[in-house]
Homo-oligomer: A and B are copies of this chain.
Amino acid sequence: MIRVLLADDQQLIRAGLRMLCDAEPDLEVVGEAGNGREAITLAARLTPDVIVMDLRMPGVDGISATSRVLADRPATRVLVLTTFGDDDHLYPALNAGACGFLLKDAPPEELLDGIRRAAAGDSPFSRDVLRRLVNRATSAGAAPRRPVEGLTAREQDVLDLVGEGLSNTEIAERLHIGITTVKSHITALMTKTNSPNRVRLALVAHRGG
């Protein structure tokens, strides 16, 4: 059972969302908030799995509410649901920690699917939003991260993941190799890049891209 908190200032929309969720056996609406402040307090009291969050709300807005909620309970999945005109707030919302971004004119199935995927750790995005995201990424990704000279392909893989802050165990899982192998590569990387510790190595990973 996925426990859902609805946060939207328009009562009509909340009612519609509640009806939609109530018709699904695996979704349970545990509460409704009419503004950001209510969303924060209700999130703390009800500990929902997923919060469906509008951005335009009186008083505390959705982005601030998202930050506050996640500071308190980082495991909460915040799914932003807003109108098309608000997608200027896409990046602020993502920076605040929202895991997904759906538009209100999406078909109901997409919304329900989005809630389930959010609860499962996925990141649902509406098609238009995703297109914008991809555009931003590709235009920004013109610089293809030049690799540090003198490293083997595998060492580059490991270096990238160190740079993202993964532990040795996580790297091993991601690359499907043993943890001792990861350690071997990291030892090689540290001597090659002359890094005294792991954080410096991570910095090298970012200097190279």
Contacts and interface: CB of A to CB of B under 8 A. Distances in A.
Nearest to A161: B84
A199 interface: yes
A74 interface: yes
A13 interface: no
Nearest to A204: B165
A134 interface: yes
Interface stretch (A16-24, A34-42, A45-53, A135-143): A135-143
A134 B134 contact: no
B88 A145 contact: yes
A136 B74 CA distance: 21
A134 B138 contact: no
Nearest to A67: B149
A180 interface: no
A32 to B, nearest CB: 25
A203 B202 CA distance: 9
Nearest to A128: B174
Contacts of A138: 91, 94-95
Given A70-B194, A85-B157, A91-B138, 7 more contacts: A88-B144, A90-B141, A105-B176, A123-B134, A125-B130, A136-B137, A202-B203
